[in-house]
């Protein structure tokens, strides 16, 4: 497969690029567990197609630890959150999460590790959602951290993304819970946020990413200070 030059702006952890002259995205996985994450994402994407809009798998490159995926047209959710209608973005996100937990958990359970009643995306939030012009979800990306867990995990992480990166949209968080259909108690959501931040800090420490580990250490401390 050809090495690509057109890096997509929403790829953070991995090298995610548009193959020149095509509508195919290549995602090359980094880190000591790259192969496991690649395999997990491939399995999830293939199983989820009947339930929700996810990129179709076009090809797999074992040697380079990369997947080639269908390019889904849409507006990244984090861009819309900074626009005039963040409540509509968050309501759609909450509705999708409820659908995911209801209809996809049984499909994914055979290929996911962990303990819990539902499939957890693992990085759910506007940063991994694409929307159409009417604020309907056009695609849910990045399944490499999917696992079985508790219902609150993805919901709390979507809230964390808003609180940490989109301060102007915090007042629209009611939309997230309206779309989801319930609002778990703050201590439950807050605890889930802290657990996820600490897991990410530990991951950076394990991978020897010192600057990133310090960043997540600071984010843990910031999250600890939050109140509803």
Of 184, 160, 179, the closest CA to residue 170 belongs to: 160
pLDDT of 146 > 90? The answer is yes
Predicted confidence at residue 198, as pLDDT, reads: 98
Q: Residue 59 in 3-state DSSP?
A: strand
Model confidence at 15, in pLDDT bands (50, 70, 90)?
A: confident
- The residue among 70 and 13 whose pLDDT is bigger is 70
- Kind and range of the H or E run holding 6: strand 6-7
For the stretch 39-51, pLDDT in tens is 999 999 999 999 9
Of 27, 47, 48, 54, the closest CA to residue 138 belongs to: 54
- Kind and range of the H or E run holding 68: strand 66-70
Three state DSSP letters for 111-156: HCCECCCEEECCCCCHHHEEECCCCCEEEECCCCCCEEECCHHHHH
Model confidence at 1, in pLDDT bands (50, 70, 90)?
A: very low
Q: 13: burial class by Cβ within 10 Å (0-12, 13-18, 19+)? A: middle
Signed CA dihedral, 207, 192, 35, 97: sign only = negative
Model confidence at 165, in pLDDT bands (50, 70, 90)?
A: very high
pLDDT of 151 > 60? The answer is yes
Predicted confidence at residue 110, as pLDDT, reads: 96
- Rounded to whole angstroms, the Cα distance separating 25 from 71 reads 6
For the stretch 56-92, pLDDT in tens is 999 999 999 999 999 999 999 999 999 999 999 999 9
| Residue-range domains of the chain with CATH | 6-70 (3.30.200.20), 75-224 (3.90.1200.10)
Residue pair 97/137 in contact by the 8 Å Cβ criterion: no
- Residues of the chain above pLDDT 90, percent: 91
Of 98, 91, 99, the closest CA to residue 51 belongs to: 99
- Helix ranges restricted to H, the chain: 34-48, 77-81, 86-103, 105-108, 152-165, 174-180, 186-206, 210-224
- For 53-59, the CB contacts below 8 A with 24+ separation are 53/137, 53/138, 53/139, 53/140, 54/139, 54/140, 54/141, 54/143, 55/25, 55/139, 55/141, 58/24, 59/1
């Amino acid at each position: 497969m050809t090495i690509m030059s057109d890096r997509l702006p929403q790829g953070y952890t991995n090298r995610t690029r548009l193959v020149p002259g095509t509508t195919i995205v290549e995602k090359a996985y980094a880190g000591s567990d790259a192969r496991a994450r690649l395999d997990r994402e491939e399995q999830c994407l293939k199983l989820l197609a009947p339930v929700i809009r996810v990129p179709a798998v076009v090809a797999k490159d074992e040697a380079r630890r990369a997947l080639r995926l269908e390019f889904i047209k849409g507006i990244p959710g984090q861009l819309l959150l900074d626009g005039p209608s963040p409540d509509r973005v968050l309501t759609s996100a909450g509705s999708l999460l409820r659908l995911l937990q209801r209809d996809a958990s049984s499909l994914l359970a055979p290929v996911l590790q962990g303990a819990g009643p539902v499939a957890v995306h693992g990085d759910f939030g506007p940063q991994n959602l694409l929307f159409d012009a009417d604020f309907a979800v056009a695609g849910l990306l990045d399944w490499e951290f999917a696992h079985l867990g508790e219902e609150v995990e993805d919901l709390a992480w979507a809230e964390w993304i808003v609180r940490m990166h989109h301060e102007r949209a915090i007042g629209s968080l009611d939309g997230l819970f309206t779309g989801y259909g319930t609002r778990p108690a703050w201590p439950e959501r807050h605890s889930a946020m802290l657990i996820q931040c600490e897991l990410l800090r530990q991951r950076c420490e394990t991978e020897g990413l010192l600057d990133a580990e310090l960043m997540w250490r600071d984010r843990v401390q910031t999250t600890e200070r939050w109140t509803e």
